[in-house]
Amino acid sequence: MDLSGIVGYVGNRSSQEILIHGLKNLEYRGYDSAGIAVSNEKTIEVRREKGQIQDLEASLQLDPILKGNLGIGHTRWASHGTPSVTNSHPLSDTNGKYFVVHNGIIENYRELRKGLVADGVDFQTDTDTEVIPHLLAKYDTGNFLDTVRQVLPLLKGSFALAIMCSTNPNTIIAISQENPLIVGFGLKEGFLASDISALLPYTKEIYPIKNNEIAMITSERITIETLDGEPIHPKKVLIEWDQEEIDLHEYDYFMLKEIMEQPKTIKKTLEGKIKNSHVRIAELEPLLNQYEFHHFEKIDIVGNGTSYHSGMVGKKVMEQLFRIPVEVHISSEFSNEHGHLSNRNLVIVLSQSGETADSLSALKEAKRNDCVTIAITNKKRSNIARIADYMLLTNAGPELAVAATKAYTSQITSLILLTIFLSQHSDKTNAYDYTELLDALVQLPDVVEQTLIMTQDAIDSFAQVTNDQDHLFLIGRGLDYVLALEGALKLQEVAYLHADAYAAGEVKHGTMALITPGVPVIALATQAHLRGKLVSNIRELKTREAFVVGVTTVGDDAVGEVVDQVLYIPEAHPYLMPIVAAIPLQLLAYYAGTVRGYNVDRPRNLAKSLTVE
C-alpha cells in the first residue's frame, strides 16, 4: 500500500533525465524512497534507493545504469512495509519480464499473494504491489496488452499503474483506477505522470486517464482503450499552469513562496466572482437552477487536516447567515458514521488535491445517500472534482510544499463566496447585510499583503515564543479557536513542535494543570467581540506565570496590557480574520522549522496526496 508519484517517458531522448526531473516535481507525493527502470530495447535496468530523489540521482551518478529511450519511475511514501530499497518500486516478477510502478492500494493482495505463494512464487518485498508483476508473469499470453487485460480484473482497490515489459521495449501501459495518472503528448514522444507538475517542462497537451481505461504509450502514438477493448479518442486538454508557477524563484522553500503568494492567490480565488455588490459563481448556477436553496435542510462540510479547519471556519460563517444547521465533519469519520442523510443534505467536500482518499470516500458515501454534493478543490481534473455534482475551483495554483498554506486561505475565501452566493438566493437566511463583507473581500488581498509585511518585520521577536521549546499552547475563542487549531497543526507538521490548541474558556477545565512558569502560550485575539473574555483567560494563564504572546489587531490595547509580548496585525471583517491571522502562524511555523534545520517542504513521515484511507 503505497502512495507515490509515478512518471514515464518514451521518445528519442534519454529517459533517465526526464524521469528524474519528473520525480523531483512529484516529490511532494512521497520521499521515502525512489526508483526508475530504463529500457534500451535489449535490456531493462532498474535502480532503486532509499531516501529522496537526490539520493537516487547521486547513486545514478556514482554508478550509472544503461541509457535508454523508455522508462518508468516512482517516488514512494511508505504506508505499509518500511521505506527500504527492497520495498521500493519498480518491482518485477521473478524472471524480470514485467516491471511495475504503483500508486494506491491493492486491497485483495493478501489472497492474491497466498495463491501465488502456493504456485511457488518467492516474494521479495512486503508490498501489495509485488503481486502485480507476478500475476502478469502467471497469466502471460505472449501479448503485453492481453496479459494486462487478464490481470486487471483480479485486482481490487484503487490504483494507478505504469508497466514495462522486456519483450515490448517500445511500450508503456498505464492504468488509472480512482488514482490520478495523466498522459502527455509530445512530438514523437509520450509522457506519463501522476500530476501535471512533472509534465510542465515538456508538454501542455495532456489527457487524464479515466477509470476503466488502458493507455498504451509509444513514441509514435498514445492509444486509449476501455478495459473491454473499445477504442477511445482521447480528448486532449491544455494545461493551464505554467512552469513559472512551479519554480522556486528567489525562495529557499516552496512553503515560504506559497505563503508570500497569498495576496495573489486570494485575488485569483475572487476573480470574476464579485460584480455589482453581488457574488456570481457561474459554475454553481446550475445547482440553483435545479434546487431552490430552501430545498436543503442541512449543510454538511467534510475535509481533512487543514481542509477540515477551513470547513470549521465555513461552518461558523454559514451558521451566522443561514437558518439551517451546518455541521462539519472529518472525512474519515463521516465516511463510516454519520447521521441521517438524504437529497435534502447539501454536502460540501473540501480538498486541495481533490485526491485525498478519506474525502473521496466521504463524497461517495454522500452520493450513495442521495445528497447533493459540491467539491471545493484546487484541482479541476481530480477524482473528487469529477465525482461531485458541482465544483468550485479555488484557483490557488500549484501548491508543492506539503503543508497547506495558500490552499487554506483560498478555501476559506471560496467558502465565504459560496455562503454569500447561496444566501443571495435564499429565504432561509438571517437578515444579514453582506455589503460590508463583500467590500472586505475585495480589500482582502491588500490586507494580506500588509499582514505579510508587518509579520516579517516582527517575526524575530514573535518567533521567540518557540525558541528552545518542545511544547506550546494556542488559545482562542470562536473563529480564533479554529485558527488556533490550524496554527498548531502547522507547528506540529513543519517544526515538529508539540503544539496543542484550546478554546480559551476550556483551559481551566483541565489543561491548566500543565501551565507552569514559562510555558509558552499564543493567545489569538482577532475577534473584537470576544476579546473581553479572552483577556480574562489570559489573566488566568498569567497568574500561573505562563509566557503569553498575544496576536491582536492594530488599535487594540486590552490584550497588549496583559501579555508578555504582542504581535499586531491589520484589522479586517471578523469573518476574514481566520485568513489574515493565519499569515503570522504560517510564518511562525516556517521560521521555527527552518531555524531547527528541518526541510519544511518535506516534513518527516508525511506526503501531500494521501490516496489511501
Query: Percentages helix, strand, coil for the chain, rounded to the nearest 5?
Result: 40, 25, 35
Judged by CB under 6 A, does residue 265 bind ligand F6R? Answer: no
Rounded to whole angstroms, how far apart are CA atoms 456 and 491? 17
141-162: b (≥16 Cβ within 10 Å) or e: eeebbebbbbbbebbebbbbbb
Question: Regarding beta strands 182-186 and 70-78, do their DSSP bridges make them parallel or antiparallel, or are they unpaired?
Answer: unpaired
419-444: b (≥16 Cβ within 10 Å) or e: bbbbbebbebbeeeebeebbebbeeb
Rounded to whole angstroms, how far apart are CA atoms 172 and 177? 16
Q: How far is the CB of 588 from ligand F6R (least distance, A)?
A: 14
Q: For residues 75 and 352, which CB has a smaller minimum distance to ligand F6R in the complex?
A: 352
Judged by CB under 6 A, does residue 537 bind ligand F6R? Answer: no
Q: For residues 338 and 608, which CB has a smaller minimum distance to ligand F6R in the complex?
A: 608
Judged by CB under 6 A, does residue 304 bind ligand F6R? Answer: yes
DSSP 8-state symbol, 90: P
Q: Which residues pair with 339 in a beta bridge?
A: none
Of the residues 68, 305, 445, 550, which one makes contact with ligand F6R according to CB under 6 A:
305
> Residue 291 is placed in which grid cell?
434546487
Region binding ligand F6R by CB under 6 A among candidate stretches 116-124, 199-207, 298-306, 562-570: 298-306
Rounded to whole angstroms, how far apart are CA atoms 593 and 447? 26
- Is residue 531 within 8 A of residue 571, CB to CB? The reply is no
| DSSP state letters, 233-244 | ----EE----GG
Type of residue at 364: K
Q: For residues 87 and 306, which CB has a smaller minimum distance to ligand F6R in the complex?
A: 306
Q: For residues 93 and 358, which CB has a smaller minimum distance to ligand F6R in the complex?
A: 358
Of the residues 357, 475, 482, 610, which one makes contact with ligand F6R according to CB under 6 A:
610
Q: For residues 69 and 359, which CB has a smaller minimum distance to ligand F6R in the complex?
A: 359
Residue nearest to ligand F6R (CB): 305
Rounded to whole angstroms, how far apart are CA atoms 259 and 494? 14
Q: For residues 88 and 394, which CB has a smaller minimum distance to ligand F6R in the complex?
A: 394
- Reply yes or no: is the peptide bond before residue 90 cis, omega within 30 of 0: yes
Residue 205's Cβ-count burial label (10 Å; 0-12, 13-18, 19+) is middle
Q: How far is the CB of 524 from ligand F6R (least distance, A)?
A: 18
Q: How far is the CB of 300 from ligand F6R (least distance, A)?
A: 16
In the chain, the N- to C-terminal Cα span, in Å, equals: 10
Q: For residues 547 and 590, which CB has a smaller minimum distance to ligand F6R in the complex?
A: 590
Q: For residues 215 and 417, which CB has a smaller minimum distance to ligand F6R in the complex?
A: 417
Q: For residues 540 and 613, which CB has a smaller minimum distance to ligand F6R in the complex?
A: 613
Region binding ligand F6R by CB under 6 A among candidate stretches 95-103, 138-146, 299-307, 573-581: 299-307
Mapped onto helix, strand or coil, the DSSP state of residue 208 is strand
Q: How far is the CB of 494 from ligand F6R (least distance, A)?
A: 8
Judged by CB under 6 A, does residue 307 bind ligand F6R? Answer: yes
Region binding ligand F6R by CB under 6 A among candidate stretches 156-164, 171-179, 199-207, 349-357: 349-357
Q: Which residues pair with 390 in a beta bridge?
A: 374
Q: For residues 136 and 610, which CB has a smaller minimum distance to ligand F6R in the complex?
A: 610
Rounded to whole angstroms, how far apart are CA atoms 555 and 573? 14
Rounded to whole angstroms, how far apart are CA atoms 213 and 207? 12
Of the residues 166, 352, 537, 552, which one makes contact with ligand F6R according to CB under 6 A:
352
Mapped onto helix, strand or coil, the DSSP state of residue 482 is helix
DSSP H or E stretch at residue 98: strand 98-106
Residue 477: partners with Cβ closer than 8 Å, 6 or more residues away = 503, 504, 505, 527, 530, 533, 534, 537
Footprint of ligand F6R on residues 471-500 (CB under 6 A)?
Answer: 489, 493
Rounded CA Rg of the chain: 26
Q: How far is the CB of 253 from ligand F6R (least distance, A)?
A: 14
Q: How far is the CB of 394 from ligand F6R (least distance, A)?
A: 10
Closest CA to 325 of 302, 351, 349, 296: 296
Q: How far is the CB of 208 from ligand F6R (least distance, A)?
A: 17
> Residue 152 is placed in which grid cell?
486487471
Of the residues 15, 75, 194, 356, which one makes contact with ligand F6R according to CB under 6 A:
356
Q: Which residues pair with 300 in a beta bridge?
A: 327, 347
Judged by CB under 6 A, does residue 180 bind ligand F6R? Answer: no
- Is residue 261 within 8 A of residue 386, CB to CB? The reply is no
> Residue 304 is placed in which grid cell?
481533512
Judged by CB under 6 A, does residue 306 bind ligand F6R? Answer: yes
Q: How far is the CB of 287 from ligand F6R (least distance, A)?
A: 22
Rounded to whole angstroms, how far apart are CA atoms 557 and 561? 6
Judged by CB under 6 A, does residue 195 bind ligand F6R? Answer: no
Q: How far is the CB of 179 from ligand F6R (least distance, A)?
A: 14
Please, what's the largest Cα pairwise distance for the chain? 80
Q: For residues 73 and 354, which CB has a smaller minimum distance to ligand F6R in the complex?
A: 354
Q: For residues 403 and 438, which CB has a smaller minimum distance to ligand F6R in the complex?
A: 403
Q: For residues 113 and 490, which CB has a smaller minimum distance to ligand F6R in the complex?
A: 490
Footprint of ligand F6R on residues 394-423 (CB under 6 A)?
Answer: 403-404
Q: For residues 404 and 566, which CB has a smaller minimum distance to ligand F6R in the complex?
A: 404
Region binding ligand F6R by CB under 6 A among candidate stretches 209-217, 303-311, 333-341, 456-464: 303-311
Contact code string over 359-398 relative to ligand F6R, x by CB under 6 A:
x---------------------------------------
Region binding ligand F6R by CB under 6 A among candidate stretches 305-313, 389-397, 564-572, 575-583: 305-313
Q: How far is the CB of 487 from ligand F6R (least distance, A)?
A: 11
Q: For residues 19 and 348, which CB has a smaller minimum distance to ligand F6R in the complex?
A: 348
Rounded to whole angstroms, how far apart are CA atoms 416 and 497? 31
Footprint of ligand F6R on residues 73-92 (CB under 6 A)?
Answer: none
Alpha helices in 199-298 (DSSP H): 254-260, 262-270, 285-290
- Number of residues interacting with ligand F6R: please give it, by CB under 6 A: 14
Region binding ligand F6R by CB under 6 A among candidate stretches 162-170, 219-227, 252-260, 351-359: 351-359
Q: How far is the CB of 356 from ligand F6R (least distance, A)?
A: 3
Residues that bind ligand F6R (CB under 6 A): 304-307, 351-353, 356, 359, 403-404, 489, 493, 610
